[in-house]
Structure 1
Amino acid sequence: MSARKKAEPKGDGITGFPFAPEREGSWKITLPCTKAEAEQLAGDPPELALLDPPPTLMTSEPDPDKPEDWQLDAYVEGKPTRALIAAVTALVPSAAKVKPVVTHIPEEDWVTLSQSGLEPIHAGRFFVHTPHNADHVPEGMTGFVIDAGRAFGTGHHETTTGCLMMLDRLKRSGLRFDDIADVGTGTGLLAFAARTLWPAARVIASDIDPVSIEVTAENAAVNAVPIGRGRGQVELVVAAGLAHRRLKARLPYDLLIANILAGPLIELAPVFANAVLPGGTIILAGLLDSQAEAVARAYRRQGFYLAGQIVRGDWPTLRLVKRKR
């Protein structure tokens, strides 16, 4: 990212947040945070749903020699209000006494950040990239255009990458699935990948956030993924867990994917178990390595066994199979 000149403070107590006529475009709120806080923010904290406009969060490790010191950058459209800045600051309690750095981003810099600033992701046979890299899909790989935007799941987080790798592993092992659900779909990427691997399957993707479903529909159009209820199509619904008549009408599933958070995964274990065929597979992600045993235990109690896992950094992706009675 190119360096940007910061606006001079004018006595409001917030670095780079001048008392100037409001400027349109994108703004960035920067705060230090801990590694643990950065990992929590990767799961799209529910507090974001209460913010208007909701920011796009990006966390990074500025200095590899200081692995516990991370940075939060929150991007918003339009000049952020004091209330919005306070809400973002509340996401990182370790920075409670730190003055946020708030800067205006010229349009061309925001485009550079959201496009070329995100390197393509290789995950199994999948190549996930922004429109900036559309001409660089390696031969023999399946490319998906997923722009940096309003929903989680660009492929750049270890949880999404791990799920893509797990799907690729299942396909290479010769498994076939006919009824697939992607719960907490985010950008739709995992549903698109599953449909590509098993093109004759019926696929449904859901998310508790209506914005995520809007983003998924947009991404489906960009990637020529047909939306609908038939085989080879992806159906989209807004729902918490499996609480939607269309999700219930499609029961049972032989493959269920849920890249959400450890708490909801444990809470939903009985619901997911009842939704999956004996011998069916559940792919779970969004949990930390320290949470993996608790999540696996919740599903063992529902008649599943751990059939495999992929660990990316501190983020495991679990494959659980329902025992045949």
Structure 2
Amino acid sequence: MTDNWIITLPCTRAEAEALGQDWELLSGLDPIPTIVGEEVVAFDDNSWRIIAYFETKPGKDIIAALQSRINGGQTIKAVPQKLPDEDWLMLSQKGLKPVQAGRFFIHSAEYQNTVPDGCTPFIIPASQAFGTGGHETTSGCLIMLDRLKRQGRHYNHIADIGTGTGLLAFAAQHLWPHAYITASDIDPVSIEVTAGNAALNNLPVGQEMGRIALCAAMGTDHEMIQRRSPYDLIIANILAGPLIELAPSFADIICEGGSLILAGLLDQQASAIVRSYRRQGFHLIQRQDKGDWPCLHLIKRRRYGWQRPLRAQRGTSQPPGDYGTW
């Protein structure tokens, strides 16, 4: 029988969100924690805390690794606390309130009897992957996808790059059930999580029409992603740095007139993102803001310039600043 332990660290909202997405760090820890961020003082982004849940007692090296991601974290006394013999994962889910975004209602198992009439529910448990619907980037993408459907847009080949829990791919499968859908993530654990969440929500996995094909890949660097292109809808809810880096790759695998949904960027990073994609022949047609987190809808131009074929430009034009890394 495994023990169940937690570590609690004070932090800012930005630090909590960044740590929850830092799979380069988290995947290297043993045991791997589940990270839950929550407010300490309502509406105060500087008064948050992270709660890290472990199946076995974490060592000093793991505590130090988590502290290193928090400003002044090395001065914070962090003592592992043993939990009672309860379902620790369910305890962590208690901090995850249901989220309604467009027609979608995202919830953990304890809220499955609270689905509002007319909503499409998805059960997304707390897990070792990003994308439970609670963050503005994920809910913003759900609202944008719902808007595209209401606008009468139809898509046949869809890719969700950086799928996390699989939620955005699930939403796309619901909205366009006859599409070929590809969901990828740089982290193999996220692909395992997505497969489990698909089964939990009775969604089909596979490469046939109407199913969700899964693969672990950095960006678009995978044989299946390339083979199933061109896509008429690409969704990418990742950090600004990788979004800028992927601009030429997305231009290569999207069809002319195709839609590109970008999220994971902050408001002050949006102009740099748009400039990078304009260089690749995209133009911005819609923007959905949730707090400081915009969701962008861009279209690949059919022609670039005066009757000239569209040509993607290699390289990126990332300006100085912290845009995040893979």
Asked if the contact 1:162/1:311 (under 8 Å) is kept, the reply is yes
In the alignment, is residue 280 of structure 1 matched against residue 258 of structure 2? yes
Quickly say closer, same or farther: Cα 1:247–1:109, change in 2 above 3 A.
closer
Q: Is the 8 A contact 1:33 1:94 kept in 2?
A: no
Deviation, 1:120, is 1.1
Aligned to 1:17: none
Q: Kindly indicate whether the alpha-carbon contact (under 8 Å) linking 1:43 and 1:286 is maintained by their aligned counterparts in 2.
A: no
Quick check: 1:140 aligned with 2:118? yes
TM-score w.r.t. length of structure 2? 0.89
2:272 alignment partner AA: A
1:264 paired to 2:270 = no
Cα offset, 1:318, TM superposition? 0.9
Deviation at 1:69, TM superposition (A): 2.8
Contact 1:31 1:101 in 2 (8 A): no
Distance 1:164 1:121 in 2: 11
Residue in 2 aligned with 1:297?
275
Aligned-pair CA distance for 1:115: 3.8
More divergent stretch after superposition (298-307 vs 36-45): 36-45
Say whether 1:108 aligns with 2:86.
yes
* Deviation of 1:118 (Å): 1.9
Aligned-residue Cα RMSD (Å) equals: 1.6
Q: Could you say what secondary structure the match of 2:86 adopts?
A: helix
Q: Which among 206, 213, 220 is matched to residue 235 of structure 1?
A: 213
Structure 2 equivalent of residue 252 of structure 1: 230
Contact 1:186-1:212 within 8 A present in 2 as well: yes
Match of 1:211 in 2: 189
Q: Tell me which residue corresponds to 1:194.
A: 172
2: CA distance, partners of 1:69 / 1:262: 25
Deviation at 1:94, TM superposition (A): 2.4
Give yes or no for contact 2:53–2:88 (8 Å, CA) kept in 1. no
Q: Which residue of 2 aligns with 1:7?
A: none
Aligned to 1:25: 3
Deviation string 1:283-317 (CA, Å, 9 cap, x unpaired) is 11111112111111111111111111111112111
Corresponding residue SS for 1:144 = strand
Shift of 1:161: 0.6
Question: How many pairs are equivalent?
Answer: 303
Per the alignment, residue 162 of structure 1 pairs with 140
Quote how far apart the aligned CAs of 1:110 are: 2.4
In structure 2, stretches of 5+ residues that fail to align are 304-326
Alignment correspondent of 1:223: 201
Contiguous gaps of at least 5 residues in structure 1: 1-22
The AA in structure 1 aligned to 2:183 is: A
Report if the CA contact (8 A) 2:36-2:95 is conserved. no
Aligned pair in 2 of structure 1 residues 62, 303: CA closer, same or farther (>3 Å)?
Answer: same
Q: Deviations over 1:78-105 (max 9, x none)?
A: 1111111111111113222111142122
Report the AA paired with residue 33 of structure 1.
C
Residue identity over aligned pairs, in percent, reads 55
Runs of 4+ in 1 over 4 A off after TM superposition: none
53-62 vs 79-88, which deviates more?
Answer: 53-62
**Which amino acid in the other structure matches residue 138 of structure 2?**
T
